[in-house]
């Protein structure tokens, strides 16, 4: 397949700048890629054609000036995005923003005419996320929601489908993050005939997104999504809690997930597990984003829009239809790697 995949991104934070560095790096390497070639596309087929943010120190700057630790070929300028939410819980934005109207944003997006708009804005910006989805539909591009905002509904999916587009979401599941690892462990324990009784996952992170997640309503929402996502692996009720629990600036862009689990084996013998996983948030999301958009581009070009179910189950913690983690990877690879 020779077409390029044009993406526009709302939110120029940690994940977006890492994704852009990755697109530069993978012009000359494939090391660290989950699927170097997927759905007929290489990573070099993905091109970023528009970036939007509302941070006053970012809007109007060239991305090559903001990403200082990597030499970029791109001379894209960050354009103003839409702001529809209160900014009180976002310490990076509470002193002022540079935004534009919905109508002007749609004009900018139409000029770029991307295949996908990727929503990578701060946690808690639910109304802005909804507006970005609406703008995608109006512009005629597919939408990818990496945030935990509940945007993807059956109704909205039907609207995108009727225009030959896809909406994918919600809440990106990192390649080897707290949730994916937790689900994989659960699956293995159950497959070995062990009965899980109680478990928790406590996350500590040091980046801006974790800080934003400390607002109680956002934290509660994320905890619910993670707990429900993990429950998909276990065919019976058990006592479980999972969520972002604390912000510790000294961790930087790292996240540590602490797991504890109690299970029962033969004669009710106790199996107890206590471990920690340290990962980097932004790099952990990029393979999944790049895989999903390459898969979606192929499915859209074949008018096979029902494949959004498989892509969403692979890439998100809160898709419309949840699969077990092993089944989601199998279904995705069967559909897109041959």
Ligand X SMILES: NC(=O)c1ccc[n+]([C@@H]2O[C@H](COP(=O)([O-])OP(=O)(O)OC[C@H]3O[C@@H](n4cnc5c(N)ncnc54)[C@H](O)[C@@H]3O)[C@@H](O)[C@H]2O)c1
User: Interface with ligand X by CB under 6 A: which residues?
Assistant: 10-16, 52-55, 81-83, 92-93, 120-123, 125, 128, 146-148, 171-172, 174, 177, 207-209, 281-282, 284-285
Q: Shortest gap between Cβ of 253 and ligand X (angstroms)?
A: 8
Q: Shortest gap between Cβ of 257 and ligand X (angstroms)?
A: 12
When the beta carbons of 93 and 196 are compared against ligand X, the nearer one is 93
When the beta carbons of 7 and 263 are compared against ligand X, the nearer one is 7
When the beta carbons of 142 and 305 are compared against ligand X, the nearer one is 142
Q: What separation, in Å, do the N-terminal and C-terminal C-alpha atoms of the chain show?
A: 13
Q: Shortest gap between Cβ of 326 and ligand X (angstroms)?
A: 20
Q: Shortest gap between Cβ of 181 and ligand X (angstroms)?
A: 13
Q: Shortest gap between Cβ of 246 and ligand X (angstroms)?
A: 16
When the beta carbons of 120 and 189 are compared against ligand X, the nearer one is 120
Nearest one of 323, 333, 290 to 144, comparing CA atoms: 290
When the beta carbons of 59 and 295 are compared against ligand X, the nearer one is 59
User: Under a CB-based contact definition with an 8 Å cutoff, are residues 332 and 166 in contact?
Assistant: no
When the beta carbons of 152 and 207 are compared against ligand X, the nearer one is 207
Q: Is 135 exposed, middle or buried (0-12, 13-18, 19+ CB in 10 A)?
A: buried
Q: In angstroms, how far is CA 2 from the centroid of its own chain? A: 26
When the beta carbons of 30 and 91 are compared against ligand X, the nearer one is 91
Q: Which residue is nearest to ligand X (CB)?
A: 13
The residues, any chain, with a CB within 8 Å of residue 36's CB and separated by 6 or more, are 30, 42, 43
Q: Shortest gap between Cβ of 234 and ligand X (angstroms)?
A: 22
Q: Shortest gap between Cβ of 80 and ligand X (angstroms)?
A: 8
């Amino acid at each position: 397949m020779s077409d390029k995949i044009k993406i526009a991104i709302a939110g120029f934070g940690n994940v977006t700048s890492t994704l852009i560095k990755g697109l530069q790096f993978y012009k000359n390497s494939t090391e660290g890629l989950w699927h170097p070639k997927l759905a007929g596309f290489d990573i070099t087929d993905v091109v970023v054609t528009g970036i939007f943010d509302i941070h006053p120190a970012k809007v109007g700057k060239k991305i090559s000036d903001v990403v200082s630790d990597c030499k970029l070929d791109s001379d894209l300028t960050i354009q103003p995005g839409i702001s529809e939410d209160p900014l009180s819980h976002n310490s990076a934005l509470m002193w002022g923003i540079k935004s534009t109207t919905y109508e002007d944003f749609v004009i900018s997006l139409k000029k770029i005419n991307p295949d996908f708009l990727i929503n990578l804005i701060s946690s808690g910006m639910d109304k802005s996320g909804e507006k970005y989805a609406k703008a995608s539909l109006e512009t005629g591009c597919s939408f990818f929601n990496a945030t935990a905002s509940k945007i993807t509904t059956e109704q909205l999916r039907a609207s995108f489908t009727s225009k030959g587009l896809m909406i994918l979401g919600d809440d990106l599941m990192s390649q080897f993050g707290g949730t994916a690892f937790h689900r994989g462990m659960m699956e293995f324990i159950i497959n070995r005939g062990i009965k899980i009784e109680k478990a928790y996952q406590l996350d500590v992170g040091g980046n801006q997104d974790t800080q934003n997640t400390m607002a109680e309503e956002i934290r509660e929402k994320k905890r619910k999504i993670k707990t429900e996502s993990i429950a998909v692996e276990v065919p019976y009720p058990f006592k479980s809690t999972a969520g972002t629990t604390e912000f510790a600036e000294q961790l930087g862009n790292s996240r540590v997930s602490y797991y504890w689990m109690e299970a029962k084996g033969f004669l009710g013998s106790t199996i107890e597990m206590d471990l920690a996983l340290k990962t980097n948030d932004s790099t952990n999301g990029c393979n999944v984003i790049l895989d999903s958009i390459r898969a979606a581009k192929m499915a859209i070009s074949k008018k096979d829009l029902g494949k959004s179910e498989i892509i969403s189950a692979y890439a998100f913690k809160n898709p419309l239809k949840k699969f077990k983690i092993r089944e989601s990877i199998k279904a995705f690879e069967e559909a897109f790697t041959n």
